[in-house]
Amino acid sequence: MNTISPGGFCFDELLTIHTPWGYTLNMKPEIKKKLTSRLNRIEGQVRGLNRMVEDEKYCIDIITQSSAIKEALSSVENLLLENHLATHVAEQMKSGKEKQAMQEILKVYKRSKKK
């Protein structure tokens, strides 16, 4: 079943486009556990942020909560990068795909600079 966004994009197709062939699901269990915990916490923070807006709380308090959510999402990205470097990039280097590994590292670096 495909998930369609309000803009008409199919998320499943979008993920397929950007997922390299031969990609295997080998997330480190300890990182997966941390990610799940952090994402659940972020989900609660977003619900709280929504309630704050609905209740018309003080703007600075809403901005403070929003900033905390951004920081939490940044920590999720850091964990994902850690996992990717330790698993996929390390495997690419071992199997002689240094160029591909370097391209992926540079892509993530450039994306992080756009923040």
Q: What is the CATH number of the domain that holds 18?
A: 1.20.58.1000
Is residue 64 assigned to a domain? yes
pTM of the model: 0.70
Q: What is the mean pLDDT of residues 79-107?
A: 88
The reported pLDDT for the residue numbered 110 is: 85
Is residue 1 assigned to a domain? no
Is residue 50 assigned to a domain? yes
pLDDT digits (tens, 9 = 90+) for 65-82: 999 999 999 999 999 989
Mean pLDDT estimate for the chain? 83
Closest CA to 63 of 72, 55, 73, 53: 53
The reported pLDDT for the residue numbered 5 is: 44
Is-contact 92 101, C-beta < 8 A? yes
Task: Please give the Cα distance from 89 to 105 (Å, whole number).
Answer: 8
Is residue 20 assigned to a domain? yes
- Looking at per-residue confidence, does 1 or 47 come out higher? 47
pLDDT band at 91 (very low <50, low <70, confident <90, very high): confident
- Looking at per-residue confidence, does 101 or 47 come out higher? 47
Q: Which contiguous run of DSSP H or E holds residue 83? A: helix 59-84
Is residue 73 assigned to a domain? yes
Whether pLDDT at 2 is above 60: no
Is residue 4 assigned to a domain? no
User: CB under 8 Å to 92, separation ≥6 — which residues?
Assistant: 98, 100, 101, 104
- Looking at per-residue confidence, does 22 or 94 come out higher? 94
Is residue 3 assigned to a domain? no
Domain that holds residue 30: 11-113
Look at the chain and report how many structural domains it folds into.
1
pLDDT digits (tens, 9 = 90+) for 13-67: 444 445 555 555 578 999 999 999 999 999 999 999 999 999 999 999 999 999 9
Is residue 91 assigned to a domain? yes
Is-contact 45 65, C-beta < 8 A? yes
User: CB under 8 Å to 53, separation ≥6 — which residues?
Assistant: 62
The runs of H, that is alpha helices, within the chain are 11-18, 29-54, 59-84, 90-94, 98-113
